[in-house]
Structure 1
Amino acid sequence: MPAKPARETSRSATTPEGGARRFLERWTSSKADMDVGGPDGFGSPEEAQSLLRNFEESGRGWFWATDVRGFLTYLSPPVLTLLKKEPSEICSQPFLDLFSRVENDASQRTLPFILTKQSKFDDLLLQAAADGDEVWWSVSGRPFRDRAGNFAGYRGSGTDITNMRRSAQDTSKLATYDTLTGLLNRLNMSKLLDATLSAFKVQTRACAIMLIDLDRFKQVNETLGHPAGDTLLKQVAERLVKTVGDKEKISRLGGDEFQIILPDVEDRSALGDLADKIIRNLSQPYSVDGFRCIIGASVGIAVSPFDGQGTEDLIRNADLALYAAKGSGRGRFRFYSSDLLQAAEERRILESDLRDALANNEMELAYQPIVDSKSNVVSGFEALLRWNHPERGLISPSLFVPIAEETDLIGALGIWALQRACTEAVHWPGKLKVAVNVSPVQFADGSFPKAIENVLATSGLPPAKLELEITEGVFLQDSADTDSIFAALKKIGVRLALDDFGTGYSSLGYLKNAPFDKIKIDQSFVRGATVPGSRNSAIIAAIVALAEALNMETTAEGVETIDQLSLTRDLRVSHVQGYVYSQPVDNETLLANCSDGDWTIEPTGPAVQRSDRYAMFRKIAAIHDNHCYDIVLRSLSATGALIDGIYDVPVGTKFVLDFGDGQLAVSTVVRSTGSQQGVEFEERLVNDGNGGLCTNRRVSPHMIAAAGSSAAFLSLGAHSPSNGDSHRGALPVFRTVNDWKAG
């Protein structure tokens, strides 16, 4: 008989009611039985037990108790339900097993220590070891002792704070992340950049940032509405994350501007490749609410410590680079350089001068022959707009056309070019055609076909002798208006050529629908086609096959060498345009050569392609041993340069050329005549994103400061004098132009 009550006691301890009763009995024990006493209120134990049960069932909190070993002796029923446990399973489970082992969570690491020390604790934040959604508790506990003063276990309570924690996380996310894209916001990125630059300044490490601005995003907002614009921004963010590979390096600054931080990256070849990849990926078509949208992107790049050591300077300079990229025609990237401030001011002056250029008769046309690749007979000419500035001379269209497009001057310039070209071409003999470039801004004007009719009527040129060269940018809108303009132009009878095919927004869809007569193969494919391992020839072959299938002609642009011409002929390109036949000529020269009706041009030029060379007249420094010479850079390519200013330099001499902004190139003299030397670089220069060249890496200001007047000596293993004067010490090895004049 005595055994029965014992079994009842054991059974009652494993049921919610029995556990609650025993738990209540402990709470209501006298203070002499424990360190922390129970409630001092009044009422019967039955009433207290009822209140305890009601509190547990309300979900506001729960209770727990352990024995001296840390094993649970009681757990409120709602927690048992959450954990999907039976009371019999809980009674032999350590209290610590109620919680997930969260890596790097300070609270979870602290709890075992507290229990070992038998200390009290309050509002400890712990995650429940529950399947499914995360559950977080605020847990408190007090040790209790038996009558002899020995530690007997813990009693405590817990509160579910999951919703409170989620709300706090949401609030924190709103403060640090962009609500639309989920990327870092401007504030969070600013803090990240501040912290990174501060740490890297001490460690002399590099950090690059990219500023990205979407081209033509405003048009999407205006035509499809802001909800469509928001959808497009989300897709842009997804593509950026996929391209960069780390979401925590990308932020949306607001509107259509994004920023990327790239710690420990200074290689400008790698940065240029990434920028180019970003531009290509963001320029692919988007599907938004059933509409096909095509936008573009421009990128500005600055690298600390070369382009600024503080956040403000670095962002300002990246913004200047972005502005320069957009001013160079958009869809490009640009590295910051110290001359951008001056370039921005010059651009502002050019804009002002451009507004008066037509009125002052400063605009001219030059005509580049388009030649039949089989017969070498000229079939037509492309009209090229030239600006003969009264002070600066001829200004490149790549410089002033983007300004004209941004300032709404392109319409007037375009109509002037059409009118002048047609007026002059009407006097050309035979069937010679004239091709005129059309800006996407011009084409988008609904009155453009009517303007073409007026130009043809006033000039008297037959429509079939006018060819309009249209870039793929006209398809950015992808609307019914575009189709109607094409239809109207073909009704007039003019020819249509697709210019710069394959460089930006190529789609076979619009080739199927748009009534083109010719595809022009961009010079970027031609110039690399003869380089071993290049895939450009395969691309050209594919374009030719496509054009032939659609009954279109082809013209290869920028052909300059005999091997390029041979390749285009082998690939069945029907027409060729480039210096291998002729540079652009004025109208008088054109008429003189075509006086007999036909102009046959024999191709001339270099036998093989070589790296593009840029003629220039720029002062730089050349360093040899402990001496720095002032020289002039006459021409520059990716592999070498022509320098002028030093006499009697033997072949094989090594120089470090200092281009400024920390750009140092180790070179070897391979040709030497008088004061001029042809040098070859040990490391190729890379594309600067603006049609120019720059060094792959730069020497940081820290190294320059440590080396004295020039860190270039480090590249040759020489030592800069401690006083920083590179002209002192031993006598210079070579004579400069000034020395020659003085002697």
Structure 2
Amino acid sequence: MLVGSYDPALVLISLCVAILASYTALDLAGRIATAKGWPVLLWIGGGGVAMGIGVWSMHFIGMLAFSLPIPLGYDLDLTLLSLAIAMLSSGFALALVSQERLPFWQLLLGALAMGTGISCMHYLGMYAMLMQPGIEYDPLLFGLSLLIAVLASGAALWIAFRLRQNTPYVRLVRGGAALVMGVAIVGMHYTGMAAARFPDGSFCGAAPSGLGNDWLALLIIVVTLAVIGIALLTSVLDARLESRTALLSSSLAQANQELTQLALHDNLTRLPNRVLLEDRIEQLIGKVQRNGGNFALMFLDLDGFKPVNDAFGHHLGDLLLKEVARRLRDNLRSEDTVARIGGDEFVLLVELAEPEDAVTLASQQISLLAQPFQVAGQELRIAASIGIALYPGDGASQQELLRNADAAMYHAKGNGKNGYSFFEQSMNTNARNHLQLLHDLRAALARGEFVLHYQPKFAASGEPIGAEALLRWQHPQRGLLMPDTFIALAERTGLIIPIGDWVLDEACRQMRLWYLHGRESWRVAVNLSALQFCHAGLVDSVAAALERHQLPARCLTLEITETTAMRDADSSLEILGRLSGMGVDLSIDDFGTGYSSLLYLKRLPANELKIDRGFVRDLEQDSDDAAIVSAIVALGQALDLRIVAEGVETSGQQDFLTRLGCDSLQGFLLGRPIPAEQFLDCLSATA
């Protein structure tokens, strides 16, 4: 027998090629698993070519590493046929592992088919030497090589299928698996080579005209590495592209989710907004129409929120709204909806077992919000007015239900707030009038429709000492409107702040004109609403108005109600102290009607107490009122405050108040509110 030998370098190279080909196969299997549509066929076809060349190259380099004491060569046609078999076997393997599932019977058949293909490639490559006489094979080693081919194929298919998903450390695991697969493939090849027997006197029929091995090894190595490298590089780049695409897609999906969240939810409270609420109302209407039943739409508006917002700032107001939202949400069932549709307005959408259950639910919400809130270290108290519209009955569409619930809410506010009201058809007319008045009020300031009338104030001696500025609205259609028609609406919407600034500015302007006409001792009195008094810009507004019209601060009297001054006494002391420091005259209006605290009263930097007209009206008939007025006058004198009585309508009242020691009087008996241009003439006429 001819004894062969091996080139150690080429043997080592064949092992490296086998490992590299195995790793490429595993990586390509991962690409095929993530691909969709026609790219799968491209990856299977291209991968089969690259992997087949790799496996075949390992086999052929291993054969080129083998030498006999005779010249050797390889038939070109048979060599190319063995290469084709390697490619087909590789393509079959990749197609098999690209499936979503790989049952055991498919794995077994695949291992037999692939093992047969690899064995055919190997032994056809051996046959390509065209040895004469033919090569003899050791039956045991021949059978062992076939078994190794099948087992290696089965292991390769199973490993490729298991490692095709991109998991943590997948490339490291694939590297270890490629080492095992490469050794198995090389083991099959060299077992088959060991089975070959070359009788003495044999010669290679392909040696004269076939492929020689002097330059073929280098060529195959270069081409194989190039093909496998290109395939592996393409796979890596595609994986990175897919990863970036997936990341971009995930980012876009997240951005879309966030945009949807923003589009359908309120930014501050994360509750559903009007858009989502309207959709849910439509869905619930459809459900009730199909299955029967009923639901309530409750329009909830917070009472007392704006004073909190103005007194403590918008940041704390926002925190309070969040707490209100949380409390409302936690008190409802998961299938119910609470939405914020703007400002301090919330809407509850609740399915009912019976329409009467709406009463219980509304009472629960009112009691719930009446409990104090702890916000940023402050204990805050608010209330709620709720309007209720029921379906079916109070509207056929979501727009109509919302409109009717809103009308019922305003009706609840008109009944004293902190309560609820069911919708009635008559409310629509009131709601339309209310909305029209609100629309007109927003434009009234810009159109110059507000005017001031002035009611004269007289000293006890009968000498005029100034006037109180009283706001009127010269409505283009409704005529002259008194404050009780629109002031509450202005306070509820916050319009009272710009309107109050205008009143302050106009009163200072008019007083400056009187000042220049010689009335230097007069004072003009301006009423401050609770919202104005709590507003952070009040002191600056007063200072700006005085400076703008060059009016001495002593010529301006600011009137605040006793209730407003005592609501937050410490804060009132700070604001009134700053105003008093400017030289502005301060008056406590409606004294005796609130919850007077003498402890705070003596600390307030006030100059004047104003007796409420309610005590003056029945002064002559009611001894209790007379006693109260006497006590107020005595208290004011003890605290060294001027005493002003308003609402004087009879000479008897005038005489009584004068005898008690009131410093000044005002009322219809002495002079009615009139426009500024008539004021001086009227005083001259009465004098």
Give the TM-score range, shorter chain: 0.3 to 0.5
Q: Which has the higher helix share?
A: 2
Which structure has the larger Rg over C-alpha atoms? 2
Q: Which has the higher strand share?
A: 1
Q: What is the TM-score when the length of structure 1 is the normalising length? A: 0.39
